[in-house]
Amino acid sequence: MSTTLEPEGTHEGVPAYHFDNRLGGPVLSHQHRWDEMAGAHSGFRSTIARGFWVVTDGAAVQEALQDWRTFSNTSVTALEPNPRFLWIPEMLDPPLHSKWRRLLGKDFSPNAVAAREQEVRKVAADMIDRVKDSGGVDVLDEFARRFPTLIFMRLMGLPEDDLATFLEWVHELLHLSYGEDPDGARQMAAMNAVSDYFEEQIALRRQAPRDDLLSRAMTWRIDGELIDDRDMHAFCVLMFQAGFDTVPISIGWALYHFATHPELREAIVADPSLIATSVEETLRVYSFVVPARKAAKDVEIGGCPVKAGEMVMLPLAVTNRDPERFENPLEVDPHRETTNHIAFGSGPHRCLGSHLARLELNVAVEEWHKRIPDYRLAPGQDLEQHGNMYGIKSLRLEW
């Protein structure tokens, strides 16, 4: 089977493509491209920058994510095998990684998350109330980006007035294509700004602890030692990246799906008990996280002869849309019984925030449909997706 991407020859016997997964494109183009590449190959070489391997065999992606001894998290950026930055816990390998996860587990446990449900629901309901009589909005700008970001800022104990600044940093840090930012200068500038911001927030809490996650983390001990400023900082920067973009993207895809599938929208309005599985299904079908790992030793995976030190990209979409794993894999089926998707990853780095994310997504969809049950895509918009996580750029709905 061939793909619409033209191969550039081979690299060590494996098909090579100028494959830039950060490139923007029309809505669904990323997902379709993964389907094409997975249909044609079990793995390939991307020739972007210094090059990296891409695994497109669904089962192999999951196996690699679980095999942390071979696929290390010391770099998780396909273009940067030797990063000079650290994100905690994402860029740690066990056993240190497990110590952090144990400490963090309490704040993100199902019970801790359930205790926030009322607050989360109120934030969502208030935001939707503000737009429900307008007849239509860009749902990403007016709701999907603001709602989870505000919850996250409260959780971390950050000033809510900084919301707009945060949304701008998220864009610069996570949404730019290789073409828009070839030398990574804009991304680096945003990273520095985020970094300075957290440095200040950490210093403020060292002087006067508060009742928030950041202050609590300062009391934790790893191997008997309190966490120093460098590691606190690495933790904040990771939380920023992991927690800020993902839920907005997921809400965007869910509302896009319900807007373009009126029969499913009517079904969840008539029977809200179908929302939970429908949300899981949108997470699976539109799954957008593309983890990467650094090979700790020579290994062959997806037909790629990976050498120690090389980077391997492990797109979750190829597992979650794999016809060998799911019947009619591209269908969002509220009655599906197989729910073993890996939209939250797999293995030791499986998403720490998955319970919070699920709550936010379910609440967003429930509260939205209580207030705005009948809506459609506003006509005359060219829907595009962007960023290395394929979020929809702008989604205007009308009702």
Contacts with ligand HEM, residue ranges (CB under 6 A): 65, 76, 89-90, 101, 152, 238-239, 242-243, 246-247, 250, 289, 291, 316, 343-345, 349, 351-353, 356-357
Burial class of residue 321, CB neighbours in 10 A (0-12, 13-18, 19+): buried
| Shortest reach from residue 379's CB to ligand HEM, in Å | 29
| Shortest reach from residue 356's CB to ligand HEM, in Å | 5
Give 131 or 239: the residue with its C-beta nearer to ligand HEM: 239
Give 243 or 391: the residue with its C-beta nearer to ligand HEM: 243
Give 137 or 239: the residue with its C-beta nearer to ligand HEM: 239
| Shortest reach from residue 82's CB to ligand HEM, in Å | 17
Of 333, 262, 302, the closest CA to residue 56 belongs to 302
| Shortest reach from residue 288's CB to ligand HEM, in Å | 7
Q: What's at 163, amino acid-wise?
A: L
| Shortest reach from residue 343's CB to ligand HEM, in Å | 5
| Shortest reach from residue 134's CB to ligand HEM, in Å | 26
Strands (DSSP E) found in the chain: 7-11, 14-17, 25-26, 43-46, 52-55, 71-72, 136-138, 221-222, 225-226, 292-295, 299-301, 304-306, 311-313, 376-377, 384-386, 391-392, 396-398
Of 290, 350, 340, the closest CA to residue 320 belongs to 340
Q: What is the CA radius of gyration of the chain?
A: 21
Give 105 or 135: the residue with its C-beta nearer to ligand HEM: 105
Contact 321, 343 (CB under 8 A): no
The full DSSP string for 363-382 is HHHHHHHHH--S-EEPTT--
- Rounded distance, CA 92 to CA 95, Å? 8
Q: Kindly report each contact of residues 273-276 with a partner whose C-beta sits within 8 Å and lies 24 or more positions away, as own/partner.
A: 274/334, 274/335, 275/362, 275/365, 275/366, 275/369, 276/362
> Which token pair is 17?
């493509």
Give 18 or 102: the residue with its C-beta nearer to ligand HEM: 102
| Shortest reach from residue 361's CB to ligand HEM, in Å | 6
Ranked by CB distance to ligand HEM, the top (closest) residue is 353
Give the residues across from 44 on adjacent strands.
Answer: 54
| Shortest reach from residue 86's CB to ligand HEM, in Å | 12
Give 14 or 61: the residue with its C-beta nearer to ligand HEM: 61
Contact 43, 50 (CB under 8 A): no
| Shortest reach from residue 351's CB to ligand HEM, in Å | 3
Which stretch of DSSP H or E encloses residue 216? helix 213-217
Phi first, then psi, for residue 168 (nearest 5°) are -65, -45
393 by DSSP, 3-state: which?
coil
